[in-house]
Amino acid sequence: MADGASRCQWATTDPLLTIYHDEEWGRPVTDERHLFEMLTLEGFQAGLSWLTILRKRDTFRRAFAGFEPRSVARFGEADRERLLNDPGIVRNRANIDATIGNAHAFMATADEFGTFSDYLASRIPRPPKRLRPGAASGSVPATTPESGALSSDLKKRGFRFVGSTIVYSFMQATGLVDDHLPSCFRYAW
């Protein structure tokens, strides 16, 4: 990169990816709105590139009430139709319906545990697992036993679009695991 910093390879192909990597990916998150946003965006990303989602992120935020879970839980049929007609987001009825349903499940889980962040802390041990020194990009898993267990529990709680791979990406995005490569300048933060 022009700044000379060594990064995870996936973050070097587009400025949006670089900014996301440098400022957000892998940092522990406790903000409820941000957790709901990342869970939602990871679900919409399935089958697409993360760059596609990043390019649409601002529109997603506007379309889904800033990812405020209580607001999204109140979405009705008119909102569904509005979202299906919004060219700025991924217009997939199953994802849209899942997001509205997930807002209900998110709030119920948060009510049970105090916050959704507290729920995650009860399921994923801290500090976050980190790649071993010397690990290469090929050693970053797509799923783990932890993501499988979290996925299963989320499904029991009524969440959709939360398969083990999506959940692992969510865990990476929100700092529940730290998969920065040892060669990356963010590895030791």
Question: Which burial class, exposed, middle or buried, applies to 16 when counting CB atoms under 10 A from its CB (0-12, 13-18, 19+)?
Answer: middle
Catalytic residue among 42, 119, 146, 187: 42
The structure tokens listed for 112 are 């049970």
pLDDT tens-digit profile of 159-169? 999 999 999 99
For the 9-178 domain, the top CATH level (class) is mainly alpha
Dihedral, CA atoms, 125, 66, 17, 134, nearest 10 degrees? 0
| The pLDDT value given to residue 138 | 76
Catalytic, 25? Answer no
pTM here? 0.94
Catalytic residue among 20, 25, 119, 168: 20
pLDDT tens-digit profile of 29-73? 999 999 999 999 999 999 999 999 999 999 999 999 999 999 999
Catalytic residue among 25, 32, 37, 50: 50
Catalytic, 119? Answer no
Please give the full DSSP string across 82-128, using - where no structure is assigned. Answer: HHHT-TTS---HHHHHHHHHHHHHHHHHHHHHSSHHHHHHHHS-SSP
Catalytic, 23? Answer no
